[in-house]
Each structure stands twice: as structure tokens, then as C-alpha cells.
Amino acid sequence: MRDYDDYNREERSLCAHLFRLLHENLDLKEESPLGQFIKLIFDKGIIDESVSYEDLTFQNVRIYSELAIIRDIYYDLKSDKERLGNFMDELVEHVSEGVGKECRPYTELNAFLNDPAQTHPRQFKDRLKKKNYGLDKNEVCVYSRVGELFSAKPDLLITVDNLLLICEAKLTMGFDKTQYERAERIGAFVEKYRYKDLGFISKPHFSIFRIGASSGKSKDNISWEEISQIADRTYDAEDRTRICLNKGVKIAR
């Protein structure tokens, strides 16, 4: 028999421990686990050079796991037709610009598609496979991509001062390009249209990065080993988060 910690290959388990770690001793600011983690991100060159780590005051600190903000905005606005329409028009425009295809607004769609009682956006792709409802190929492509954002859940979203950071994490599997692009699209949408929902007063600096097995694979990759080293400095040897992160490092190798 083997201890499950020795072969638990699920990165969401490690992300849960990272979530806990990043909330420890926040009053220590740059010396906190979050401060050390943010310093790693700066050292990797992930953050725009116009932002300095030394200037951070560690205000507006928020950490979200399994972010589903697109889904949740839709649900929050569902009972207000005008505000929901404005949100969906912005989202469609954002995706349309991202894929370089012109597309009519959500509020001009066939009533079957833009009525929340009949069609949820995550159903767009399947519905449009069966019938195009007057949309051309470019519009079908755009609305299919829009629908996919309602099921996408980036692993972590972190805000610090004027920084908006999104993280995608893997342990033993490689990174999925499409999944990463969805996470980046969600972050860019929040940066442009919904930043006030996350406590920002003005448009933040958005960056996306990866956590993976090895930080040497790409400049925007932080390794689980580097995170486990922060845990080693934070917890005693018997702490579950420290144990699991160290075990994860061995599995990742």
C-alpha cells in the first residue's frame, strides 16, 4: 500500500494548498507568502516593466480559486434585461475583436438565442451546430467561443494594488493552448470592462502566467518547487500544505 500523497496527480489539490499558503500572514506584506510569490512573478519578467515590485503597498489583495466570473456576472444580471444585454454585447465584442471576426451584438440575435429562459450562453456551440439561426460562419465561430467562456475556470485570480494576475496550473500534464487562451481572454475582459468588480479604481495591469513542473520550460512558468520553498519557510514540517506541496514536486518530476 502507498500513501495517496505520493501519487496524487491532481493539480487542483495543490492549487487548494497554494490558495491557503497565499492567505497566510498577509499583514507582513512583501515578506508574506503572497509577497514572496509576487516577487517570483516579477523576477520571471511576467509583469510589465512599467510596474515596480518595490512600489507595491499590498492593498486591494484578493485571491480567487477556480474563477468563474463570466458565469457569475451573467447570473447576477439575468433578471435585468438591459444590463444583461449590455454585458453580453461587451463580451461578444471582446471575443470578436480577439478572433478578428465581425459579429452582430447579442441584443440583435434571434430571440431564442438571447432569451435566458430559452438559451444559456454555454449552450451556444451545441445549438449553433444544429441550426445557425441566421448567423454567418464568422458569427457562429464568435458565439461558440463566447459560450466556451462560461465553462472556463482559470485556476487562480490574484489582485494586488493595481495588478490583475491570472494563473493556470498543471502538475503532470502539459498546458492546453486553448484553455490558456480562454483564461487570457477572461482576464483581458475583466481588465477592460469589469475591473471595478474586483476593487480597482482604474484599469489595472493584467498579466497571465503558468505554474508547472519546471520553471525552465518558459519565461512565464513558475515551478511547484519554487512554491514549495515558500511553504518550507512558512510552515513546520508536519503541516499538511507543506507536505503536499513537497510531495507534488516529486510527482511533477
Report pTM.
Answer: 0.93
**CB-based contacts of 181: which residues, under 8 Å, 6+ apart?**
none
Using one digit for the tens of pLDDT, what is the confidence trace for 36-47? 999 999 999 999
Using one digit for the tens of pLDDT, what is the confidence trace for 120-135? 999 999 999 999 999 9
Using one digit for the tens of pLDDT, what is the confidence trace for 136-157? 999 999 999 999 999 999 999 9
CA distance 222 to 243: 19
What would the 3-class secondary structure string for 32-68 be?
CHHHHHHHHHHHCCCCCCCCCHHHCCCCCCEEEECCC
Residue 216 pLDDT > 60: no
CA distance 199 to 228: 29
Count Cβ atoms within 10 A of the Cβ of residue 19 and give its class: 0-12 exposed, 13-18 middle, 19 or more buried: middle
C-beta separation of 12 from 246 below 8 A = no
What DSSP string runs through 122-165?
A: GGHHHHHHH--TT--HHHHHHHHHHHHTTT---SEEEEETTEEE
CA distance 185 to 67: 13
CA distance 40 to 224: 12
Mean pLDDT of the chain: 94
C-beta separation of 234 from 31 below 8 A = no
C-beta separation of 30 from 56 below 8 A = yes
